[in-house]
């Protein structure tokens, strides 16, 4: 972002960066920066909060009055909520399939309702919604099976993209199922990795790939670095 700010200013545009990393902004010195300590992935702070988002934008636009380069900090910090979202998970239905497969099938109706309401889905980088359960079955095999992970091909092939698709499927389903206030900065991720069978299966498969000597780019980006 800061690089683009410099390129755009040189071309004759006035820019304002909403920065999420203060040290990076201080080193790169974009001409006008509003540093916002909000959860990563939420540069305007609060989803669905119109007055709050507008205040962030108005403070950013006010930096245009500065006669020279300026870095200001937004006065309010929003902590990243790590408490898992409260969201019911479907009960075990078919004991003959891996738990994550059963669970993903159970979430399909909620996922479909979200897609109908939003008109768009984040699923589809490597696989579509119909293939989520097949991918989870393979991740289960990688995590729990006796063979090498290379024995069982993953639908969609690219582990990073497939894991993004599974997370998107679960997140979109969860937003339909969860009650209460809008989830905080990391609540949905915490729910996914700590409470769902799919999240646990993904982490277990990732550990197994690492253990079996898979190249780092294949396993590392399957989940956030801190997990």
Between residue 196 and residue 225, which ones bind other proteins under the rule CB under 8 A? 221-225
Least Cβ distance, residue 62 to other proteins (angstroms):
9
CB nearer to other proteins: give 92 or 118: 118
Residues 62 to 101 in contact with other proteins, rule: CB under 8 A: 64, 67-69
Please report the DSSP string for 90-145 in residue order.
Answer: PPP--TTS-HHHHHHHHTHHHHHHHHHHHS--S--SS--GGGHHHHHHHHHHHHH-
CB nearer to other proteins: give 10 or 95: 10
CB nearer to other proteins: give 50 or 215: 50
Residues 111 to 140 in contact with other proteins, rule: CB under 8 A: 118-122, 124-125
Tell me if 31 contacts other proteins by CB under 8 A. Answer: yes
Q: Which own/partner pairs from 68-71 qualify as long-range (CB within 8 Å, at least 24 positions apart)?
A: 69/29, 69/31, 69/32, 70/31, 70/32, 70/33, 71/19, 71/25, 71/26, 71/29, 71/33, 71/35
Of the listed pieces 42-50, 86-94, 95-103, 139-147, which binds other proteins according to CB under 8 A? Answer: 42-50
Residues 142 to 181 in contact with other proteins, rule: CB under 8 A: 160, 163-164, 167-168, 171-172, 174-175
CA torsion 207-212-218-223 (nearest 10°) is: 0
């Amino acid at each position: 972002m800061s690089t683009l700010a410099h390129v755009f200013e040189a071309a004759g545009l006035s820019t304002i960066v909403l920065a999420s990393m203060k040290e990076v902004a201080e080193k790169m010195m974009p001409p006008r920066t509003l540093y916002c300590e909000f959860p990563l992935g939420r540069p305007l702070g609060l989803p669905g909060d119109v007055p709050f988002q507008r205040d962030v934008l108005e403070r950013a636009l006010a930096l245009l009055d500065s006669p020279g380069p300026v870095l200001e900090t937004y006065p309010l910090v929003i902590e990243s909520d790590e408490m898992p979202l409260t969201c019911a998970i479907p009960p075990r239905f078919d004991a003959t399939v891996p738990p994550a497969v059963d669970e993903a099938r159970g979430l399909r109706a909620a996922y479909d309702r979200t897609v109908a309401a939003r008109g768009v889905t984040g699923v589809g980088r490597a696989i579509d919604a119909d293939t989520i359960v097949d991918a989870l079955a393979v991740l289960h095999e990688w995590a729990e099976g006796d063979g090498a992970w290379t024995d069982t091909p993953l639908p969609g092939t690219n582990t990073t993209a497939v894991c993004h698709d599974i997370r998107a499927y679960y997140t979109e389903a969860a937003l339909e199922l969860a009650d209460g206030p809008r989830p905080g900065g990391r609540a949905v991720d915490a729910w996914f990795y700590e409470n769902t069978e799919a999240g646990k299966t993904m982490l277990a498969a990732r550990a197994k790939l690492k253990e079996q000597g898979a190249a780092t780019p294949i396993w590392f980006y399957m989940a956030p670095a801190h997990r």
